[in-house]
Chain A
Amino acid sequence: MSDTSDAETDDESESPVSEAAESESPVSEAAESESPVFEAAEYADGTITYPPHPVSPDGAERVGTVDLAEHTAEVVTWTTATATPPGVREPNHLAIVAFEVDGTEMRALGQLTDGDVEIGDEVRPVYASELRDPEAGIREPASQSWDGFQFEPVDES
């Protein structure tokens, strides 16, 4: 399951924000030839979370990472927001999706590539270099990453 770098090599003093920012800035960190990583954290108690946290919900230490980009997920729920904040596409299709990684279910949230989905649909992660305009919102642009993964319906035909 630990198919990317070992989390124990990370600086444990880093905040979750900075960890998330690093983990999702694959373009700047990884060689351009490498695929962007959709990094979730794996813990000693078998749980997996996205985003990664310093410990699991029950306090177990991190033991590795999982690249969710290699998996598909199922739509738990979705919405289309028509009143969006500065720098955000309008309308903004969003979903909470559930991954099953080696028998362990975990969830993620992200933009949908389009709004033509239903609960239970299968989706795959697709990389986007910029999910919203970092300069337009209230948050300091340098405080976090702005790239990430949208979810695209898997064509069943």
Chain B
Amino acid sequence: MERDSTASVPTATDGGSASGDTDRSASGDTDGSASTSVTGSPQNRTGADRVAVIAASMTQFGQRDAWLQSLLAEAGQACLADAGVAADEVEHLYVSNMASGEFEGQTGAPNALAHDLGAVPAYTARIDQTSSSGGAGIYAAWQSVASGASDCTLLVGGEKMTHRSTAEATDVIASLTHPVEYKHGVTLPSFAGLTARAYLDQYDAPRESLADVAVKNHANGVDNPHAQFRKEVDRETVLESPIVADPLRLYDFCPITDGSAALLFCPESVAADYTDEYVVVSGIAGATDTHVVHERTDPTTMGGVVDSGRAAFEMADRTPSDVDVAELHDMFTILELLQFEDLGFAEKGAGWRAAASGRTARDGEIPVNTSGGLKSKGHPLGASGVAQAVEVYEQLLGEAGPRQVDADVGLACNVGGFGNCVTTTILEVGA
């Protein structure tokens, strides 16, 4: 791709990393406005040659016969076709994937994909950041274009999981835990149970408020043709489903899923050469929290969400009240509430009211997980963060069909581990 060589582009290093010495609480403002007290905040890049997303795709999520290599190729081909870009124009190719070696004994996936797509000799890399591999892939793709290293970057996220039993898949995911956690048999669902109990106790929230998140996201998933589950559930079904990690029950958890999703990036200065409508990455940041979960002062706050969200809002020169649609990482119902608060959409301890009141419904003030979320759409680990952005992309460009909401600014928050690593991305309609 040709680009305007005089355009001012952001560097790959400034702004992507959240400050480590900030107060780890979201704004708490009742109107949802973001705090501006971030130290070392990134510069506003609205005047620079921003990074554009010019195409998006995702495969059917669910139980698929295809293995990872085929799933990646399916999404990658569809994305290139969506943009009308030939594979040999791809300069950087990233694959977001957590555990293909552990799940199916397949490594080197990015190189296999480059060959399958006809993208050789593109530079390739695999991006593993556990459940937030997709968000980290967006960050890598953004860096590649923003730095000038690539003028055409394809990101494909994918995971193949359903051939493993639930116990085996749970153990693969639990392998991300610290040894002192793993030996006690800790799993990600058990972290969710521990956190949910603390949250309900600390904020005197009703158990039903968690069920409301599942009910909302299942309702949204009905209208997503790519979702694993396309059926509504009611409160009673959620509350009477089998206990998995007390107080959380089966319908508080996302399923095990196969699937893939893709995005195509280029400098905004050349985006119009490919398409009339595109979105731009106006803000993006990643942050970590303690790897050992119990060492956090407040188990109901995810510092990585607070820090990445704050930095992403700073970069985009936006506040939570500017966001029209959000995809939050609802691997467990409790996580949607925590991110809603930690990103500054609600005061700490008040997020549980959002789903119950309809504030986060499709026709609410701030629709959350219009795709159905991980809860209904499914959670193929490496694909999920990419698929979140696919939903925001479609919402911003008016391509979401029956799920469509009125949106010019969208946010995606992709959580890895149990908040160990987080990437927050803000997308906006391109000029």
Contact = CB atoms under 8 A, between A and B. Distances in A.
B184 A85 contact: no
Scoring B185, B196, B290 by chain A CB atoms within 10 A of each residue's CB, the highest score goes to B185
Given A94-B186, A148-B184, A138 B194 contact: no
Contacts of A78: 194, 197
A89 interface: yes
A125 to B, nearest CB: 13
A86 B170 CA distance: 9
B130 interface: no
A65 interface: no
B185 A76 contact: no
A87 B168 CA distance: 11
B179 A77 contact: no
B187 A84 contact: yes
A17 B194 contact: no
Interface in A99-146: 107-111, 115, 119, 131-132, 137-139, 143-146
Contacts of A51: 178-180, 292
B9 to A, nearest CB: 34
A110 B244 CA distance: 18
B194 A77 contact: yes
A144 B201 contact: no
A76 B199 CA distance: 11
A1 interface: no
B33 interface: no
Interface stretch (B49-57, B293-301, B363-371): B293-301
A132 B245 contact: no
Given A51-B180, A76-B198, A83-B167, A88 B185 contact: yes
B214 to A, nearest CB: 17
Contacts of A24: 180
Contact of A92 (B185, B201, B295): B185
Nearest to A144: B179
A20 B180 contact: yes
A39 to B, nearest CB: 11
B175 interface: yes
A107 B246 CA distance: 21
A89 B190 CA distance: 13
Contacts of B293: 109
A118 to B, nearest CB: 10
B293 to A, nearest CB: 7
B59 interface: no
A81 interface: yes
A119 B183 CA distance: 23
A76 B190 CA distance: 14
Contacts of A81: 185, 187, 189-190, 193, 244-246
B201 A77 contact: yes
Scoring A20, A84, A95, A145 by chain B CB atoms within 10 A of each residue's CB, the highest score goes to A84
A79 B179 contact: no
Contacts of B170: 83-85
Scoring B175, B184, B190 by chain A CB atoms within 10 A of each residue's CB, the highest score goes to B184
A156 to B, nearest CB: 20
A46 interface: no
Interface residues of A, number: 43
B171 A77 contact: no
B194 A139 contact: no
Given A76-B299, A80-B245, A83-B166, A145 B179 contact: yes
A83 B293 CA distance: 20
A101 to B, nearest CB: 15
B102 interface: yes
Contact of A85 (B171, B248, B290, B294): B171
Given A81-B245, A85-B185, A96 B168 contact: no
B184 A79 contact: no
B299 A80 contact: no
Contacts of B292: 49, 51
B185 A132 contact: yes
Contacts of B187: 81, 83-85
Contacts of B247: 79
Contact of B185 (A17, A57, A77, A89): A89
A138 B172 contact: yes
Nearest 7 CB-CB pairs, A to B? A79-B193, A88-B185, A85-B171, A144-B179, A77-B198, A109-B294, A81-B190
Given A82-B245, A94-B194, 16 more contacts: A20-B180, A49-B295, A51-B179, A51-B292, A77-B197, A77-B299, A79-B246, A80-B246, A82-B246, A94-B193, A96-B194, A110-B184, A131-B185, A132-B183, A138-B174, A144-B182
24 contacts: A51-B180, A57-B290, A77-B198, A77-B201, A79-B190, A79-B193, A80-B246, A81-B187, A81-B193, A81-B244, A82-B244, A85-B187, A92-B184, A94-B186, A94-B193, A95-B194, A111-B184, A131-B184, A139-B182, A143-B179, A144-B182, A145-B179, A145-B183, A148-B180
